[in-house]
Structure 1
Amino acid sequence: MSTITNSLYPKIEIFETRKMMGENAAEKVALKIIKVLESRSEINIVFAAAPSQDEFLAAFIKQNLPWEKINAFHMDEYVGLDKEAPQGFGNFLRDRIFGLHNFKSVHYLNGNEANPSIETERYTQLLKNHPVDMVCLGIGENGHLAFNDPPVADFEDKQAVKLVELDEACRQQQVNDGCFSDIEQVPTHALTLTIPSLINAKYLFCIVPGIRKAEAVFNTLDKPISHEFPSTILRNHDETIIFLDRESSSLL
């Protein structure tokens, strides 16, 4: 492992392989959860659903944690996808973590609500009732956080959850990740937690492996902080750790 420490950037930890990256991220998240629960009866955590999180989630579910004290959320969901589709982010997380432990509560975003505003209001109220302590997230190829693509990312967003149209780069990433066979199958809209909902959490653990994320990682750390590169906002958060592997860190 190597660590990049620079007062201008978040803490960055680089590992030789995706597996090592995922295991170390899982251990650090678990330690922080235990620390928080020393003075709290429960903790509220938002998780990302993407192949980039596979190694982290596989290691995280093996951690010895008081799962019954964790309220779990996920950060985005497609609109209009069949409710049993494996590409659904709620289904992804159910199969890899939410359905494998006895959480205090698990709150799924419903992308099949006929009136999306009803669902955004419902989930917004859940987040008000359970202020987010921790987010385990990734960075998209276009720099998105959750489904806050550059055209819709708003660092001062007044909404906590909103309906967005996905840009082409974001939809193409879903094909690149092997989730869909072609871009025509990728939904055009989604529900997402907004940038403030994510970065207002006390702790951010950002897991970003793979060569296709190398440019996004470089932009996150090198480009001016702006909506054009949504992930650059991570540089304004004092309690962020970015976990990389050899490939995703190759342009640093």
Structure 2
Amino acid sequence: MNVVTVKTKEEMSATASKLIVDKLRQKPELVLGVATGGTPIGTYEEFVDRVKQEELDVSSMRTVNLDEYVGLPRDHEESYWHYIYTHLYKPLKLPVENAFVPDGLSRDLEAECNRYEEAIESLGGVDLQLLGVGRNGHIGFNEPGTPMDSRTHVVELTESTRQANARFFNDIEEVPTQAITVGISTIMKSRSILLLASGQEKCAAVEALLDGKVDIEWPVTILNGHPDVTLIVTEDAYCSDKEDDHA
């Protein structure tokens, strides 16, 4: 694992965006796995700026969302389809057919999960998966205890997750109770993984990861078994007393 320690969240975003741009130069038809939430917003902003400044052609890039709420239409401002459209597709004027997002309105959610797995496979898999990590070590909506061999599946959102996401809604009652999320084994099939962690509240999750052991109660630790992971972590989230010898 390549561990890159930075001082600020802004530096984390700039470093991550450069890595994505480098991958895009190597492969213009890059399949990018995209995370949502607050952590990667700065990365998307930096990426958009770099693409515009360097006049890069991103028209062949495809994106694969990690997750989507069940019950929210695409045009809902808190849907994750709307999120990636707002932060990536709209500013870069990308063709929306290049955005792959689970259908949270599907009448058959199990079939939708299978369809989404097949869609990822039809793209040839994810080249670079961008991830954030929850304070309890969750990746995507894969909470502690999620089987490490899980594929795309429907999850019941925990009360703590709904509380954490309530800030994006008018009231916690508006926060969906379910979501579709890419499973842990599907994440592990990505050719490269870029994990972002910032803030003191992520300290325990980062420590668990850098301990080097795989623990089902800390889903992020599964990344210890992946051959190509880069962790970009701010100093306030990097609480381990170990040296950066995890590469």
Is 1:116 aligned with 2:109? yes
SS state at 2:204 partner = helix
1:84 aligned to which of 68, 75, 90: 75
Is 1:213 aligned with 2:193? no
Q: What is the alpha-carbon distance in structure 2 between the residues aligned to residue 125 and residue 82 of structure 1? A: 22
Identify the residue that residue 228 of structure 2 maps to in structure 1: 239
SS state at 2:179 partner = strand
- Output one character per residue of 1:164-197: Cα deviation in whole Å (capped at 9) or x when no partner: 112233323324xx32465443222110111111
Q: What is the alpha-carbon distance in structure 2 between the residues aligned to residue 180 and residue 221 of structure 1? A: 34
Q: What is the alpha-carbon distance in structure 1 between the residues aligned to residue 199 and residue 7 of structure 2? A: 11
Is 1:196 aligned with 2:189? no
Deviation at residue 141 of structure 1 after TM alignment: 1.6
Letter paired with 1:116: L
Letter paired with 2:26: K
SS state at 2:168 partner = coil
Identify the residue that residue 59 of structure 1 maps to in structure 2: 46
- Output one character per residue of 1:74-120: Cα deviation in whole Å (capped at 9) or x when no partner: 11011113543322111111100022222571122221222212321
Letter paired with 2:220: S
Is 1:17 aligned with 2:17? no
Is 1:29 aligned with 2:20? yes
**Are the aligned partners of 2:206 and 2:237 in contact in 1 as well (CA < 8 Å)?**
yes
Identify the residue that residue 68 of structure 1 maps to in structure 2: 59
Q: What is the alpha-carbon distance in structure 2 between the residues aligned to residue 241 and residue 80 of structure 1? A: 34
Is 1:135 aligned with 2:129? yes
**Are the aligned partners of 1:56 and 1:207 in contact in 2 as well (CA < 8 Å)?**
no
Identify the residue that residue 215 of structure 2 maps to in structure 1: 226
Correspondence 1:144-183 to 2 at 5 A: 144-151=138-145, 153-157=146-150, 159=151, 161-175=152-166, 178-180=167-169, 183=172
Percent of counterpart pairs with the same letter?
A: 24
**Are the aligned partners of 2:74 and 2:81 in contact in 1 as well (CA < 8 Å)?**
no
Q: What is the alpha-carbon distance in structure 1 between the residues aligned to residue 170 and residue 110 of structure 2? A: 30
Q: What is the alpha-carbon distance in structure 2 between the residues aligned to residue 73 and residue 231 of structure 1? A: 19
Is 1:93 aligned with 2:84? yes
Letter paired with 1:60: F
Q: What is the alpha-carbon distance in structure 2 between the residues aligned to residue 185 and residue 56 of structure 1? A: 28
**Are the aligned partners of 1:47 and 1:75 in contact in 2 as well (CA < 8 Å)?**
yes
TM-score of the superposed pair, with normalisation by structure 1: 0.85
Letter paired with 1:132: V
How many pairs does the alignment contain?
234
**Are the aligned partners of 1:207 and 1:243 in contact in 2 as well (CA < 8 Å)?**
yes
Q: What is the alpha-carbon distance in structure 2 between the residues aligned to residue 51 and residue 199 of structure 1? A: 23
Letter paired with 2:131: L
2:32 aligned to which of 41, 45, 62: 45
**Are the aligned partners of 2:212 and 2:224 in contact in 1 as well (CA < 8 Å)?**
no
Report the aligned-residue RMSD.
2.0
SS state at 2:180 partner = strand
Unmatched tracts of structure 2, length 5 or more: 242-247
